[in-house]
Amino acid sequence: GGSPGPIRDRPEVSPWGRLSSIDCRRAPWETGAQFQLRAGKVKPETVTSATAPQPLRIRAAVPIIVAGTVLLAFSPILVRLSEVGPIATGVNRMLLPLPVFFAWMYLQPAQRFPLSAPGGLRGLRIALISGAFFAGDLMCWHWSIKLTSVANATVLANLAPVFVVLGAWVVFREKVNRVFVIGLAIAVSGVAVLMSESLTISAATLLGDTLGLVTSWFYAGYILSVSRARRAMPTVATMAWGGAMASLILYVIAFAWEGNVWPDTARGWMVAFALAGITQILGQTLIALALAHVPAEFGAMILLVQPAIAAVLAWALFGEVLSGLQAMGGVAILAGLYISRRSTS
């Protein structure tokens, strides 16, 4: 009996159902894991990328990562169409979205992130580190696309999930599930099979192939750092500060090395804005949003569907024929994802 208390005194029901209720006094920039850590409900060492995500969260996050991956599949096409150098193309991609991200932070209180918030400075440092990793990723990736075949660059860059798993194990001491590793091996093999008809082994492409491999190292560092930053910062703040760091690094190098940073024609500007809007504002933001709710290694694995999506886009846009071998590779990727997904449940 009796009338209910004021709304502000009632506990907030978690939208994920299976998580314990969280007090509505949680700050708008805090993730659930960060609030529980501040409130003393969990010990710091229990909040890891392997233990924090719950099955219901993973089911909600997987379609978000897949959607982001679909958008990222346009990246090689747009990089090839860019009329500026490889590093300057990275500047276009990272610098043009910054006004959108910072305006978004200003207009949406839930995306604001005061440094006085619990873990604020640490979250900012990790976000800046993620930007440095992503700058290295874009430099190596764009040059790799120019210096070797798209197939070689794609296969080598998609080794990133392997290095994410190694990084989580070596750096963060996270346990690696054996079934997950089996699924990862199947999925990576599927990528190689999917692209095998276009793969080339040549001394002429050695530098491009090496840069493709280095791309996977940088992208693994980016995935791991964004996954950590998202525990302390909202999505847009992570993208804004990480993007600012990446833009600074890329601009300095592009200006010194390539000279011309910006396009000269209307067509060039259209490509630059398409690259910034499709792959960064939409694609990478969706992935950063989901990485707060799934293990970093599984999130990186989902990105392996990108070559399959790129093959379908090439078929739809350019009439390229999909062979039976490519279909087998696509099936292997999906099978590996399914096995790894089951291991995280």
Question: Token pair of 104, please?
Answer: 């978004």
Looking at residue 264, its pLDDT comes to 92
Closest CA to 77 of 299, 293, 265, 312: 312
Alpha-carbon distance of 61 to 302, in angstroms, equals 11
Q: DSSP code of 217? A: H
Question: Tokens 């089951």 correspond to what residue?
Answer: 342
Could you tell me the CA-to-CA distances from 82 to 72, 273, 275 in Å, in that order? 16, 11, 9
Cβ neighbors of 226 (< 8 A, separation 6 or more) are 127, 130, 238, 242, 287, 288, 291
Looking at residue 166, its pLDDT comes to 86
Question: Token pair of 179, please?
Answer: 């079934």
99: how many CB neighbours lie within 10 A of its CB? 10
Sign of CA dihedral 279, 280, 284, 286: negative
Could you tell me the CA-to-CA distances from 236 to 198, 223, 253 in Å, in that order? 37, 16, 25
In single-letter form, the type of residue at position 344 comes to: T
3-state SS class at 35: helix
Looking at residue 299, its pLDDT comes to 81
Alpha-carbon distance of 26 to 14, in angstroms, equals 12
Looking at residue 241, its pLDDT comes to 93
Task: Report yes or no: 241 and 124 within 8 Å, Cβ to Cβ.
Answer: yes
Task: Report yes or no: 86 and 137 within 8 Å, Cβ to Cβ.
Answer: no
Looking at residue 119, its pLDDT comes to 64
First vs last C-alpha separation in the chain: 41
Cβ-based burial of 165 (10 A; exposed 0-12, middle 13-18, buried ≥19): buried
Question: Token pair of 190, please?
Answer: 């599927």
For residue 22, list its beta bridge partners: 12
Cβ neighbors of 126 (< 8 A, separation 6 or more) are 225, 228, 229, 232
10-residue mean pLDDT profile of the chain (345 residues): values are: 45 40 42 46 40 56 87 85 92 96 84 64 89 95 83 80 85 80 87 74 80 92 89 86 96 91 94 95 90 80 78 71 80 85 67
Looking at residue 24, its pLDDT comes to 40
For residue 335, list its beta bridge partners: none
Q: Where are the domains of the chain?
A: 58-344
Alpha-carbon distance of 171 to 192, in angstroms, equals 27
Alpha-carbon distance of 151 to 39, in angstroms, equals 49
Question: Token pair of 307, please?
Answer: 């070559």
Q: Phi, psi (5° rounding) for residue 53?
A: -65, 145
For residue 11, list its beta bridge partners: 23
pLDDT, tens only, 233-282: 888 888 999 999 999 999 999 999 988 899 999 999 999 999 999 999 99
